[in-house]
Amino acid sequence: MKVLQNIFVLALQLVTFVSAIPSETIITKDIPFDLNGSNFTYQWPVSIYQFASQNGQTLQMAFMDIKPTCAPNGETAVFVHGKNFCSQTWNATAIAFLEAGYRVILVDQVGFCKSSKPTSYQFTFQGLSRNLLGLLTTIGVNDVTLIGHSFGGFTAARFALLYPWIVKKLVLSDALGLENYVGEGIPYPDTDYVLATERQNNYGALRGYEQANYYPGLPWLPSYDTWVNMLVVIYGGSMAKEYTWCQALITDTVLTETVVYELPTLKMPTLILIGANDPVAIGKAWAPAAVQAQVGHWSTFAPAVAATIPNSTFVSIPGQGHAPQISDTLVYNQEVLGWVTTH
């Protein structure tokens, strides 16, 4: 009797404990236009994945879950954006996938765009991967083609290492993490140094960075302004303070984590795709000239990394920088869709 009573008390405690954790929910109604400091309009309806993380904080990840625009092929493509990008930046490639029969899921990672901007948060690629796993599990998706760009490529690589049974095919598109920046000699700064540079971001600073890194040697097109302004409204928006701090922490994550040494254990078909003239190296701006000269040579290190992954293909898009999905959309879509449909 005593034992039964104890079990009953234990069960009651367990129920209380579990119900104290806000459950994972998907919110699809009454999503505000200005969501978490981003009043930029997305092309498809936005949903929110709400979950508890890190000291019981209630966090939201904004995402778009879009049905194919022709006969479904039964496949799901999940796209993860980079720093200075949002889920919406994938729109032209998303349309190509929708037209090929894919269900497309575009996510905003925590700390970015329309998702929460927690100021007390340990940003790790493992944690960001876990958040994405939570979202996919909650909406019943357990088999994906995962496409990550830049910072989102680093997340995608980590996600594929942690949850290989979910990732059928992996596309790493100008993915950070193929190079180990601090290991290459980039000085490691305090987050306050990065925060100060984040606070200086405005139209001019962002455009200058994007011209030099995303479209090096290419003319500035009016359509590129759209993507600068998408960021400008967040940097000047209702959560500017939280956003700049999250972005500083996010840069810290890139500088403190590595993934390249683990990539040889990837087993799924993997596409490593770059813009041939991509010059991006995180921290290059504050590195000594000798280090600056040594980093960001994607045409050298990216094929070498691809060669360490058993099931990989390497593609370099000529004449393009860090964002070929924007600067050479048709070729990019052809390369990625061509690869996913033949591997």
Shortest Å distance, C-beta 287 to ligand NAG: 33
Among 269, 279, 296, 321, binds ligand NAG (CB under 6 A): 269
Token readout for 119 is 């100021």
Shortest Å distance, C-beta 113 to ligand NAG: 11
Token readout for 157 is 């690589």
> Contact at 8 Å (CB) between 89 and 230?
yes
* DSSP 8-state secondary structure symbol assigned to residue 156: H
Residues numbered 290 to 329 that lie near ligand NAG (CB under 6 A) are: 310-311
The span of 190-198, 202-210, 214-222, 230-238 binding ligand NAG (CB under 6 A) equals 230-238
State which residue, 40 or 298, has the beta carbon closest to ligand NAG. 40
Residue 226 engages ligand NAG in binding (rule: CB under 6 A): yes
Shortest Å distance, C-beta 311 to ligand NAG: 4
Q: What is the enclosing helix (H) or strand (E) of 20?
A: helix 2-20
Shortest Å distance, C-beta 24 to ligand NAG: 15
Among 76, 116, 244, 247, binds ligand NAG (CB under 6 A): 116
Shortest Å distance, C-beta 48 to ligand NAG: 7
Helices 151-162 and 125-138 sit at what angle, rounded to 10 degrees?
70
Residue 337 engages ligand NAG in binding (rule: CB under 6 A): no
Using H for helix, E for strand and C for coil, what is the string for 257-298?
A: CCCHHHHHHCCCCEEEEEECCCCCCCCHHHCCHHHHCCCCCH
Q: How far is CA 9 from CA 2, 17, 19, 20, 120, in A?
A: 11, 12, 15, 16, 35
State which residue, 272 or 281, has the beta carbon closest to ligand NAG. 272
The span of 66-74, 232-240, 316-324, 330-338 binding ligand NAG (CB under 6 A) equals 232-240
Residue 92 engages ligand NAG in binding (rule: CB under 6 A): yes
Residues numbered 32 to 91 that lie near ligand NAG (CB under 6 A) are: 32, 35-36, 39, 43, 60, 88, 91
> Contact at 8 Å (CB) between 273 and 322?
no
65's CB contacts (< 8 A; 6+ apart) are 47, 103, 104, 105, 139
> Contact at 8 Å (CB) between 60 and 129?
no
Residues found near ligand NAG in the complex (CB under 6 A): 32, 35-36, 39, 43, 60, 88, 91-92, 95, 116-117, 226, 233, 236-237, 267-269, 310-311
